[in-house]
Structure 1
Amino acid sequence: MTDLSAPLAMNRGPAWSNRMALAPLTNLQSNPDGTLHDDEYRWLLHRAAGGFALVMTCAAHVSPAGQAFPGQLGICDDSQLPGLTRLADGLRAAGAVSSVQLQHGGRRADTQLSGRPVVAPWDDPAKGATALTTEQVEVVVQDFVDAAVRAQTAGFDGVEIHGAHGYLVAQFLDARHNHRSDRYGGSADNRFRIVHEIISGIRAATSTDFQLGLRLSPERYGIVLDEAVALAADVLADGSLDYLDMSLWDAFKEPYEDQHRGRRLIDHFTTLPRGSTRLGVAGKIVDAQGARQCLEWGADFVLIGTAGILHHDFPRQVIADPHYRALPQPVSSEHLVGESVGPRFLDYLSTNWDDFVA
């Protein structure tokens, strides 16, 4: 299937209207207490109106200690429910399937924002982080489950577990540093355990039509490709997920590791048995040709980041024009403001990405 406009049925919940999802994107536009701000609402609603089949929030912290960014959306307290409900209602009215990405910063959390100690799978003096006890890991698992229930209560169609990019769940996968002696460290099976427990906990606590996804990074952050493939194979075969979201950084490249050169990174995942679990990929997909190529290589859908910032209607444009390509960067701040990028998001893009804003 290479038709980007084709609907995508899921095991649970509503079918997606096409094969393009908005990637979860840090934008710093929420209120200091994690409640929804109008700027974040406008940013996401504009993407739903632009034709993204799935619109996912930024990484939303599942506990106060997990906050990693200023202006980060929260899903750790019922006081955040009114804004979350408003967002879920708005996305549904605009025609998109909706999801909250669930995240805990771990050693990348910011104690100055949270007022809480920084925690991680291991002691990390450089980050001021203290190793979680076994009981505290169990609490973290429950925090993810409770956040998923909160998302369902707010009316979202599903959630995605953030197991990528070096945040807490990915930190447990880090073979270099996670040498815990309990059931959450050491062997690959033990390091994978938190992922499986969060998945099974959410599946048990939410309804049968609630969609559940997982984002993984196959490289960097102490992740070795063979282990990433093994974990992906496990969760694809298990059937508890509706989709696996592989954040490849570049969907067209070869792996970093020398022993895996000569084969595209994406191929390590598209060739895995997946049953009816859907597989999505993200990374430098900025035009219609690249998006179609990912489907030709075996992905079920693509997640759009940069191009979704540049163009709220990227899916609509791609479906209408098989040669469509996002604007080259940098772009003017005026263009981004017209695309519902609010002041704090614009400042973040200007400050952290040297080639985004002219």
Structure 2
Amino acid sequence: MSYLLKPLQVGTLKLNNRLVMPPMATAKAESDGRVSQDILDYYKEKSEGGNISLIIIEHSFITPEGKASKNQLSVSDDDIIEDLRKLADVIHQNGSKAIMQLNHAGSAAEKEVIGTMPVGPSAVINPRKGNIPRELTSKEIDDIIQAFYDAARRTKEAGFDGVEIHSAHGYLLNQFFSPLTNKRKDEYGGSIHNRIRIHLKVIEAVRSAVGDDFPILLRLGASDYMEGGSTIEDSQIAAKEFEKAGIDILDISGGFCGYVVSGCTEQGYFAQLSESAKKVISIPVILTGGITEAKAAEQLLADGKADLIGVGRAIFKDSTWAQRAVESLLTI
């Protein structure tokens, strides 16, 4: 049987195959972050046929200060829960599972969007944005951890199947993870164990919000691929700690390098990172990055590079991609 078509049970989450639609920003929400008809239509179309077992909704801001861009989806207020329920329902009606991705942009936010000065672990330049944020106080860090708790509670109340904590692509938690942007001298800075302290507190908060039987994913920007940045060794240490803390699925992507690895043209840009994570943890690992062909996804699974495959841009461009991929593999 095809590797991609094998079902997978992760706690209470039952997936009918290994195909994941990773989070991709659409800028289709209302200006205040509410669910729009455009977003409902978009996810209805992408989930049609139920060929994608798991759909991770685009990153959604947990506080207005953590908003990454205009028309980004919000999970920052209790008033939005019923709207979010419509979004979960649209995906469920087509037979896919729905995960909400929670994010704080940190220094990747823009003053024009949030109305205040962006914040970060340290007042140093953001390598992707070029701006210098204001350094967060310990009290503000506690408030952000609480915001993750509240957003996770809303996600569960809205009927989603799980929640993903975003620590990739140079956003706030990734800024704490990376030595490029974390120059703190307190308990949150220095060693890798200190740099993931906020992650462990966020995982604990989210778990207390959703209970033991609700899946928690974490998307990790596992390497910056930049001099002085985070490394594979950092991400292996982090992966082990995240598994111990109760993460159910680790979703591997890039750090300050973003969604690509410079000079890499093979499908599965981050296969080296997902494979290295799999060597040290037993929970399932998702691999994304430039995968456009079903046979490439199949080979990555066969080679043990990951347990689940995220196909982003190909599905973004062509809503029938998943159906055709599944059909092509049914004869294997």
By the TM > 0.5 criterion, same fold? yes
Q: Distance in 1 between matches of 2:100 and 2:42?
A: 15
Question: For residue 18 of structure 2, what is the amino acid of its counterpart?
Answer: R
Preserved contact between residue 61 and residue 74 of structure 1 (Cα < 8 Å): yes
Matched, 1:235 2:257: no
Q: Is the 8 A contact 2:252 2:273 kept in 1?
A: no
- The superposition leaves residues 143-166 of structure 1 with CA deviations (integer Å, 9 ceiling, x where unpaired) of 111101011111111110000010
Q: Residue 124 of structure 1: CA displacement?
A: 3.6
Pairs within 5 Å for 1:252-267: 264-267=272-275
User: Which residue does 1:199 correspond to in 2?
Assistant: 203
Contact residue 287 and residue 323 of structure 1 kept, 8 A: no
Identity of aligned residues (%): 30
TM-score, structure 1 length as denominator?
A: 0.82
Structure 1 stretches of 4+ with a deviation exceeding 3 A read 248-251, 263-266
Q: Which amino acid aligns with 2:315?
A: G
1:265 Cα deviation from its structure 2 partner: 4.1
Taking the TM superposition and a 5 Å limit, the aligned residue runs for 1:38-77 are 38-50=37-49, 51-77=51-77
How many angstroms apart in 2 are the aligned matches of 1:8 and 1:46? 24
* Secondary structure in 1 matching 2:86: helix
Q: Over aligned residues, Cα RMSD in angstroms?
A: 2.2
Shift of 1:89: 1.5
Aligned partner of 2:21: which letter? L
Q: Deviations over 1:216-256 (max 9, x none)?
A: 122227322211121123223x16111000015469x98xx
Amino acid at match of 1:278: P
Q: Determine whether 1:167 maps to 2:171.
A: yes
Relative distance call for 1:247 and 1:177 in structure 2 (3 A) is closer
**Aligned pair 1:271/2:279, yes or no?**
yes
SS at match of 2:195: helix
Q: What's 2:294 paired with?
A: 288
User: So what's the TM-score if we normalise by structure 2?
Assistant: 0.88
Instruction: Give the whole-Å Cα distance in 1 for the aligned partners of 2:160 and 2:185.
Output: 38
Paired letter, 2:93: A
Q: Is the 8 A contact 1:107 1:119 kept in 2?
A: yes
Find the counterpart in structure 2 of residue 176 from structure 1: 180
Shift of 1:117: 2.7
Which residue in 1 is equivalent to 2:268?
none
String of CA shifts for 1:83-131, please: whole Å, max 9, x gaps: 2111012211211111111011100112212223311101147625110
Q: Which structure 1 residue ranges, 5 or more long, are not aligned? A: 255-262, 325-358
1:21 aligns to 2:25 (yes or no):
no
| Equivalent of residue 308 in structure 1, options 305, 315, 331 | 315
Return the alpha-carbon distance in structure 2 between the equivalents of residues 239 and 224 of structure 1: 21
Deviation at 1:297, TM superposition (A): 2.3
Runs of 5+ unmatched residues, structure 2: 265-270
| Paired residue secondary structure (2:178) | coil
- Residue 225 of structure 1 corresponds to 232
Deviation string 1:56-92 (CA, Å, 9 cap, x unpaired) is 1111000000011111001001222222111012211
- The 2-side partners of 1:134 and 1:272 are apart by 31
State the alpha-carbon separation in 2 of the partners of residues 46 and 52 from structure 1.
12
